[in-house]
Structure 1
């Protein structure tokens, strides 16, 4: 069965093995080896895909955790901002009220300095209660600025 015109690998192997049965056995063996190699390659490919999927799943979980932390931080910052805005509104209202009181006191002083109104002597001892705003005639130094502390502002 060997041809003398060409040396193909099949004919060379046929000469080495001597029969077609041995050739089929060799082809079957190579085929099984190739199939086994393909199976192993497919298994490795599936393992790589699974590892990639696991990595992406872990990354999604990490990003969701970071997103939740950022949202929590935003909520806390927003609440803090709202508290500061509220406190600022209260302070502005208190400032407006105190400015109005000061303006009223300055008008009274202007009226007194002009010679009108109360003709008696001023009391020279300061009053220790809160009636100073109600009765400004009892104040010792009426030209002094109104002083307030943070503790006083929280009562409003």
Structure 2
């Protein structure tokens, strides 16, 4: 079997969740991969009635796994079980994985945020009696989402995004050829030079993808820090308003004390003693009521 035929027989396993993806994005992706001669497997290719654990065997037969993280991904325990198997094979160096973030941010998957995280916690509760299993799910999500991947957002065009995935899969499969001895004996120097040039291009392209992903990670971290700063500043604004109100109240109390002392100084010595609660108005029960800062006042500070 020559190198090109071997590439065509390398299988790509697609791990995803949701009928809306299956009938839309996934169908277009599978069609594009097949059009480029790439052997691709999705669960609908498995025979009806066959135990779904056979999907693990399909993962073992594959060279590459495409993990499509979407908003509904963590609804499926089977997706999560497949992901655990994908992680195991990847850790063993037997499988390469490309995470694809479809309309979800990488940090949402890594940190289990939003609906993605809520659904995962629902699965955790559902399988709370099998903690080792849920721990493996969490480890697999963290491990795979940390890898360099591709992000489809609201500004992306699906047709272009599919072409990028196909291109990356083909490059990865070409990289797999280096793991096998090529037949045909010694190759001429021109061929070797061309291969070296192609490899350098591949390396540069991967490096550029790595830089883009690093920038995306930094941007996500900046968003988190910015939001934290906004939250802290909002709390500070409220505290500033409360401080002003407390200062005004204290000034009023001091005025009352001065008036009371004035009155006491002018009273007949036989006059009944002034009650403590008038001499110490800050101890009155109504002074313990919470101070509420309005949004209108908050924005003046």
Unaligned runs of 5+ in 1: 1-38, 127-136
The counterpart of 1:46, out of the listed 194, 213, 237, is: 194
Instruction: Give the corresponding residue for 2:206.
Output: 58
Cα deviations across residues 61-90 of structure 1 (Å, max 9, x unaligned)? 111111101000001111111111111111
Instruction: Give the corresponding residue for 2:50.
Output: none
Bigger relative CO (Cα 8 Å, ≥ 6 apart)? 2
Give the structure with higher Rg (CA): 1
Q: More strand by proportion, 1 or 2?
A: 2
Q: Taking structure 1 as reference, are residues 40 and 108 closer, same or farther at Cα in structure 2, changes over 3 Å only?
A: same
TM-score by length of 2: 0.29
Instruction: Give the corresponding residue for 1:71.
Output: 219
Distance 2:209 2:249 in 1: 60
Q: CA deviation at 1:123?
A: 4.7
Unaligned runs of 5+ in 2: 1-186, 265-270, 294-301
Distance 1:90 1:120 in 2: 44
The 4+ residue runs of structure 1 with deviation greater than 4 A are: 119-124
Q: More helix by proportion, 1 or 2?
A: 1
Q: How many residue pairs are counted as aligned between the two chains?
A: 99
Question: 1:101-120, aligned counterparts within 5 Å?
Answer: 101-115=249-263
Distance 1:71 1:98 in 2: 40
Cα deviations across residues 6-59 of structure 1 (Å, max 9, x unaligned)? xxxxxxxxxxxxxxxxxxxxxxxxxxxxxxxxx822111111111111111111
Cα deviations across residues 83-135 of structure 1 (Å, max 9, x unaligned)? 1111111100000001000100011101111117xx976555x7xxxxxxxxx
SS in 2 for 1:115: helix
Question: 1:76-155, aligned counterparts within 5 Å?
Answer: 76-115=224-263, 122-123=274-275, 137=278, 141-142=280-281, 152=290
Distance 2:203 2:272 in 1: 90
Q: Give the CA RMSD over aligned residues.
A: 3.2
Q: CA deviation at 1:142?
A: 3.1
